[in-house]
């Protein structure tokens, strides 16, 4: 069985989304705890610039963004399915963006005053806008209304007695809705959602799934795993595309929202849902880095 290595940190909501996916599939995995702010010296050689959390490593294949991570988990470990590749992906895209933004504002209204200046400076660079500690409580109050409106849709849906959002078993929609709820309720310990009983009971069911079996690993050990491995050979090829990109061409892949750091390399594979580029660094040797198409800008690089 290939070794799953998750580069993450405990307080990261998007990492919690993936950790619960490990729990649903009852997977064993290696945990590399990465810094909460830059620099991330053991991660950058693997991703080539992408700084966000989490990143999944399987040998010399590096999966950036929870969207592509969950698809890869479904591909390699199909049972039980998470439901990637269905309209649940659209549900997750909504939860990961506007819902998550409202959750962050709400959570930071509580946690903000305890966070160090270095964290604020890092997240200002990350988000591309200035962050003012004195405005956090007001921003939280403003965004709590939209947050509760979004989550009210889930509360209403759960009234029919369903255990999980889109069926009898937990899947992608549950993972996606859970991580903003977890951030507000469990991490920030906010009472903003306390009066939504069905949502809270559902969140308790998701939490009870757990994280599978975790084994700790150091960042340097993970780099050594990549150095000793070759990227997986089952490459899909480069589909015809509007940019006219061809295999081997130098391209850049950049998140379109936050953490807009480009990863540059040679195009290896491209299809409707993902792009794979090849790059090399002395610390990890040759790696293939995989990104989703939705939420990323793919461009020819000079």
Ligand X SMILES: N[C@@H](CCC(=O)N[C@@H](CS)C(=O)NCC(=O)O)C(=O)O
Q: Does 178 bind ligand X (CB under 6 A)?
A: no
* Closer residue to ligand X (CB): 87 or 228: 87
Q: How far is the CB of 34 from ligand X (least distance, A)?
A: 8
Q: Does 14 bind ligand X (CB under 6 A)?
A: yes
HEC string of the chain?
CCCCEEEECCCCHHHHHHHHHHHHHCCEEEEEECCCCCCCCCCHHHHCCCCCCCEEEECCEEEECHHHHHHHHHHHCCCCCCCCCCCHHHHHHHHHHHHHHHHHHHHHHHHHHHCCHHHHHHHHHHHCCCCCHHHHHHHHHHHHHHHHHHHHHHHHHHHHCCCECCECCCCHHHHHHHHHHHHHHHHCCCCCCCCCHHHHHHHHHHHHHCCCEEEECCHHHHHHHHHHCCCCCCCCCECCCCCCCCCCCEEEEEECCCCCCCEEEEEEEECCCEEEEEEEECCCEEEEEEEECCCEEEEECC
For ligand X (CB under 6 A), the number of binding residues is 14
> Of 8-16, 188-196, 219-227, 265-273, which part binds ligand X (CB under 6 A)?
8-16
Q: How far is the CB of 120 from ligand X (least distance, A)?
A: 12
Binding to ligand X (CB under 6 A) within 22-61 occurs at 51-53
* Closer residue to ligand X (CB): 53 or 252: 53
* Closer residue to ligand X (CB): 234 or 256: 256
Binding to ligand X (CB under 6 A) within 62-101 occurs at 65-67, 96
Q: Does 8 bind ligand X (CB under 6 A)?
A: no
Q: Could you list the residues that contact ligand X (CB under 6 A)? A: 12-14, 51-53, 65-67, 96, 126, 258-259, 295
């Amino acid at each position: 069985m290939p070794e799953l290595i998750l580069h993450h940190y405990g307080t990261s909501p998007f990492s919690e989304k993936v950790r619960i996916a490990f729990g649903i599939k009852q997977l064993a995995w290696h945990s590399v705890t990465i810094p909460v702010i830059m620099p991330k010296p053991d991660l950058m050689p693997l991703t080539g610039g992408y700084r966000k959390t989490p990143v999944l490593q399987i040998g010399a294949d590096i999966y950036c963004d929870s969207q592509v991570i969950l698809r890869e988990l479904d591909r390699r470990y199909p049972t039980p399915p998470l439901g990637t590749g269905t309209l649940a992906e659209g549900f997750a895209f909504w939860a990961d963006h506007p819902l998550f933004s409202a959750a962050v504002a709400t959570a930071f209204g509580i946690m903000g005053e305890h966070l160090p200046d270095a964290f604020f400076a890092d997240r200002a660079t990350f988000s591309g806008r200035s962050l003012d500690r004195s405005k956090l409580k007001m921003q939280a109050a403003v965004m709590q209304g939209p947050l509760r409106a979004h989550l009210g849709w889930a509360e209403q849906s759960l009234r029919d007695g369903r255990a999980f959002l889109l069926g009898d078993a937990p899947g992608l929609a549950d993972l996606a809705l859970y991580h903003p709820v977890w951030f507000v309720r469990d991490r920030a310990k906010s009472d903003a959602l306390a009066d939504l009983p069905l949502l809270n009971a559902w969140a308790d069911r998701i939490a009870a799934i757990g994280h599978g079996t975790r084994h700790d690993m150091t960042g340097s050990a993970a780099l050594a795993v990549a150095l000793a491995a070759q990227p997986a050979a089952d490459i899909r090829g480069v589909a015809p595309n509007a940019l006219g990109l061809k295999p081997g061409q130098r391209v850049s892949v950049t998140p379109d929202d936050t953490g807009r750091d480009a990863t540059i390399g040679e195009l290896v594979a491209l299809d409707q849902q993902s792009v794979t580029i090849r790059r090399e660094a002395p610390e990890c040797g040759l790696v293939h880095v995989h990104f989703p198409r939705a939420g990323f800008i793919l461009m020819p690089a000079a």
